[in-house]
């Protein structure tokens, strides 16, 4: 069963172009099992980063690499408040998928 991770983050003012450039240019080679990667702008400097994975096992195995990538641009993100830190991650198995 495939899996997805979704991470909400808010980019500091003036850092959006660098944030998008980093994600557009970085290699996804260390993320074995990733099927697709998307970034969705949901508000003023707020983004959702979405990863589609072959399985929960592949997603779990890639977490150290994802954290390593996050560490390279963590200073470009704002604290989300409420004790969340700079990201609000969620992940799970895809239980329904439809395509047009």
pLDDT in tens, 5-31: 999 999 999 999 999 999 999 888 889
CATH 3.30.70.260: does it fit domain 3-90?
A: no
Percentage of the chain beyond pLDDT 90 is 93
**How far is the first Cα of the chain from the last one, in angstroms, to the nearest whole number?**
20
Structure tokens at 90: 């969620």
pLDDT in tens, 65-87: 999 999 999 999 999 999 999 99
Q: Where are the domains of the chain?
A: 3-90
Structure tokens at 10: 């808010």
């Amino acid at each position: 069963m495939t899996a997805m991770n979704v991470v909400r983050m808010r980019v500091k003012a003036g850092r959006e172009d660098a944030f998008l450039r980093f994600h557009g240019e970085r290699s996804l080679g260390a993320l074995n099992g990733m099927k697709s990667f998307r970034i969705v702008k949901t508000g003023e400097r707020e983004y959702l980063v979405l990863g589609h994975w072959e399985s929960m096992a592949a997603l779990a195995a890639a977490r150290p690499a994802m954290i390593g990538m996050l560490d390279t641009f963590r200073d470009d993100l704002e604290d989300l408040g409420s004790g969340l830190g700079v990201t609000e991650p969620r992940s799970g198995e895809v239980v329904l998928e439809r395509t047009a």
